[in-house]
Amino acid sequence: MKAWLIIMIVGMALLTSACSSTFMLGKDGRGYFYGSNSHAIYEMLCTSGDLEKVLAATHLSEEMKGTIYKYNCSAERSGDKVKQIYASMTVKERKDIKIAFKKNGYEINHLLC
């Protein structure tokens, strides 16, 4: 009986602990999920010019860089599109963009999912 209770608790914990479809960025004491539609992340990445610097520091294709910039910083801004792009990236590309963010003064979350 005790074993079933433990299994049930672990199962519920796994079901309720959802992982983000992207990652969390932090800089200057502020943190946001990459792909958020908030105006604050727009200012942090776009108004500051940081996203251009981050993308320049990656090895992503020019097409991918343009698409990432478009859906983060243009009039066509879309958090859902940013999340879709991130989900479509290879593990190597995801690592590349996270390293570029770190090189440009950002902290990245370290979730294991």
b/e code 33-59 from CB counts within 10 Å (16+ = b): bbbbeeeebbebbbeeebbeebbebbe
- Partners of 1 in the beta sheet? none
Higher-pLDDT residue of 14 and 79 is: 79
Q: Above 60 in pLDDT, residue 87?
A: yes
Alpha-carbon distance of 75 to 92, in angstroms, equals: 29
| pLDDT tens profile 15-37 | 434 455 788 999 988 889 999 98
pLDDT of residue 12: 45
pTM: 0.77
